């Protein structure tokens, strides 16, 4: 077959724009709330949206379709690394992989890898979160940005390549996984099953059409400070005589210590990266303390989110180095306090979502960025401030980037939405990138 030029591929993408939009609407109308966000009023699980993906991929003529429900016990041999959570239930929560075979069986496969799950809906929506409404060039729905829009762009790109007559030299793998929003165990199952792409992978997270060869690791944790309840309106006896100890007072001091540590992190090279506009920080997300207005708090619990970079990954690919730093902070922010020494804080780690970085010299990075420039999109190279599934794949031998339509600041919010113009632009970039890395395009 003769070479296909860029203009023919772009024209094919544009001709399929309505079809791509309609596919995104179908995805949005298939609720796929991760059950980790336990809300009995919401429909949870990824199976419904995987049905939509599978039908489309079969219609596209995928040479292989692999659909399975991960089993936590079967992944226990990876318990020391990223993405493993014992006992997690994947009943009705399948992974889905399609393979389009290239003409060169010894070539370097390329992968599109996205997640099918979304976060809970929450309140204050003015549009139906599962309606896929389309108004004035905007598509609304939970997951429109994170990340059904990106996956719709990827499928639309493959369909356009078929329409343009592009022949694949290398295998193209399309993977839609469960559970990214709660730690990435779906991607762990994908890697464990042997799927990798030496030619590179695109994770279509919302990057505002920027090319992101980096994502940060995320730690979720709770630190509980211990006091002793007592009548709040009375003069307090010394605690040694049975008097109250105010856990909230300790909470105030810990918040001050966190603020001071964040000021240090802001200047620390280990907490900053050339492709990130902001440093890693310790963000307080939730506060829970006290029982009654007349009683000193016996406990004060602070739930936090802290980030880390690949330079601080431990030998297992996780954030134990930063965990230790935080544990030392929580244990040592108060000195010369006998009660505190005898009742030290309790620390519970909830999530350690790994980070990853692909060198910007890798073809998947350089090619995608070059195409954004050729299309005049104004894209820049900028890492993801939040976690994505890229780290597991990088560690497994798949150079990976994040690239997709929409701004992540719109994700996880009421009236999540995506501009049709961004969806079209992302579809063009993905089509041209796939064509250049494993197709006919020079």
Digit-coded pLDDT (tens) for 13-70: 999 999 999 999 999 999 999 998 866 666 678 999 999 999 999 999 999 999 999 9
- Angle formed by the axes of helices 17-28 and 6-15, to 10°? 50
Summarize pLDDT for 330-373 with one digit per residue, the tens. Answer: 999 999 999 999 999 999 999 898 999 999 999 999 999 999 99
Residues 115, 150: Cα–Cα separation, whole Å: 10
Summarize pLDDT for 103-140 with one digit per residue, the tens. Answer: 998 889 999 999 999 999 989 999 999 999 999 999 99
Helices (H), 109-148: none
Are 219 and 308 spatial neighbours (Cβ–Cβ below 8 Å)? yes
Are 374 and 348 spatial neighbours (Cβ–Cβ below 8 Å)? no
Binning pLDDT at 50, 70 and 90, where does residue 183 land?
Answer: confident
pLDDT for 11: 97
Are 414 and 440 spatial neighbours (Cβ–Cβ below 8 Å)? no
Residues 175, 160: Cα–Cα separation, whole Å: 18
Please give the distance of CA 415 from its chain centroid, rounded to a whole number.
Answer: 19
Beta strand 346-353 with 214-215: parallel, antiparallel or unpaired?
unpaired
Higher pLDDT among residues 439 and 1, named by residue: 439
Out of 3.30.2270.10, 3.40.630.10, 3.30.1330.40, 3.40.630.30, the CATH code matching 6-215+355-438 is 3.40.630.10
pLDDT for 122: 87
Please give the average per-residue pLDDT across 228-240, as a whole number: 95
Which residues have CB under 8 Å from 154's CB, separation 6+? Answer: 112, 114, 174, 202, 204, 427, 430
Which residues have CB under 8 Å from 207's CB, separation 6+? Answer: 382, 384, 402, 403, 404, 408
Compute CA distances 88 → 36, 42, 190, 253, whole Å.
Answer: 9, 19, 15, 36
> Would the CA dihedral through 209, 115, 72, 325 be positive or negative?
positive
Compute CA distances 413 → 127, 306, 315, 422, whole Å.
Answer: 12, 21, 35, 19
Are 181 and 36 spatial neighbours (Cβ–Cβ below 8 Å)? yes
Looking at the predicted structure, is the pLDDT value of residue 270 above 50?
A: yes
Q: What's 146's DSSP letter?
A: I
Give the helix/strand (H/E) hosting 114. Answer: strand 110-115
Respond yes or no on whether the N-terminal peptide bond of residue 147 is cis (omega within 30° of 0): yes
Q: What share of the chain is helix, strand, coil (3-state, %, to 5)?
A: 35, 20, 45
Summarize pLDDT for 87-97 with one digit per residue, the tens. Answer: 999 999 999 99
Looking at the predicted structure, is the pLDDT value of residue 2 above 60?
A: no
Burial code (b: 16+ CB inside 10 Å, e: under 16) for 311-326 equals ebbbeebbbbebbebb
Percent of the chain with pLDDT over 90: 93
pLDDT for 1: 31
Please give the average per-residue pLDDT across 183-189, as a whole number: 93
Residues 168, 437: Cα–Cα separation, whole Å: 9
Report whether CATH 3.30.70.360 matches the domain 217-353: yes
Q: How many CA atoms are closer than 13 Å to the CA of 398, on its beta-carbon side?
A: 26
Q: What Rg, from alpha-carbon coordinates, does the chain have? A: 24
Percent of the chain with pLDDT over 70: 98
> Would the CA dihedral through 145, 147, 150, 152 be positive or negative?
negative
Q: How many Å from the N-terminal Cα to the C-terminal Cα in the chain?
A: 14
Domain with CATH 3.40.630.10 in the chain: 6-215+355-438
Higher pLDDT among residues 390 and 40, named by residue: 390
pTM of the predicted protein model: 0.91
Residue 124 backbone zone (phi > 0: left; psi -120 to 50: alpha; other: beta): left
Domain with CATH 3.30.70.360 in the chain: 217-353
Closest by Cα among 291, 298, 297, 265 to 279? 265
């Amino acid at each position: 077959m003769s070479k296909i030029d860029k203009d023919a591929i772009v024209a094919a993408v544009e001709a399929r724009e309505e079809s791509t939009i309609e596919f995104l609407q179908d995805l949005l109308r298939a609720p796929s709330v991760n059950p980790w966000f336990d809300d009995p009023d919401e429909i949870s699980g990824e199976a419904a949206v995987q049905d939509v993906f599978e039908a489309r991929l079969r219609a596209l003529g995928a040479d292989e379709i692999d659909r399975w429900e991960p089993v936590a016990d079967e992944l226990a041999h990876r318990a020391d690394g990223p993405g493993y959570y014992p006992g997690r239930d994947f009943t009705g929560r399948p992974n889905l992989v399609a393979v389009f075979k290239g003409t060169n069986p010894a070539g370097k496969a390329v992968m599109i890898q996205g997640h099918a799950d979304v976060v809970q809906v929450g309140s204050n929506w003015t549009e139906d979160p599962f309606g896929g409404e389309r108004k004035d060039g905007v598509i609304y729905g939970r997951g429109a940005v994170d990340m059904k829009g990106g996956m719709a762009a990827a499928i639309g790109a493959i369909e356009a390549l078929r329409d343009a007559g592009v022949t694949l030299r290398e295998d193209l793998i399309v993977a839609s996984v469960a559970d990214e929003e709660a730690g990435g165990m779906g991607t762990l199952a994908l890697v464990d099953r042997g799927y990798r792409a030496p030619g590179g992978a695109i994770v279509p997270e919302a990057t505002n059409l920027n090319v992101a060869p980096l994502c940060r690791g995320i730690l979720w944790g709770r630190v509980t400070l211990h006091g002793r309840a007592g009548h709040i309106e009375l003069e307090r006896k010394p605690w040694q005589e049975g008097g109250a100890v105010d856990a909230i007072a300790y909470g105030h001091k810990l918040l001050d210590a966190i603020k001071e540590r964040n000021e240090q992190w802001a200047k620390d090279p280990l907490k900053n990266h050339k492709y990130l506009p902001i440093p890693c920080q310790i963000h307080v997300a939730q506060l829970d303390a006290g029982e009654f207005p007349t009683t000193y708090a016996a406990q004060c619990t602070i739930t936090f989110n802290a980030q880390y970079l690949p330079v601080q990954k431990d030998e297992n690919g996780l954030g134990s180095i930063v965990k230790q730093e935080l544990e030392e902070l929580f244990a040592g922010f108060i000195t010369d306090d006998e009660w505190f020494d005898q009742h030290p804080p309790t620390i519970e780690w909830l999530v350690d979502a790994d980070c990853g970085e692909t060198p910007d010299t890798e073809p998947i990075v350089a090619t995608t960025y070059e195409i954004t420039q050729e299309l005049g999109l104004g894209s820049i190279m900028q890492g993801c401030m939040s976690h994505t599934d890229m780290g597991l794949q990088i560690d497994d031998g798949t150079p990976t980037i994040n690239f997709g339509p929409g701004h992540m600041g719109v994700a996880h919010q009421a009236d999540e939405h995506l501009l049709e113009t961004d969806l079209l632009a992302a579809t063009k970039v993905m089509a041209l990138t796939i064509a250049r890395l494993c197709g006919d395009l020079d």
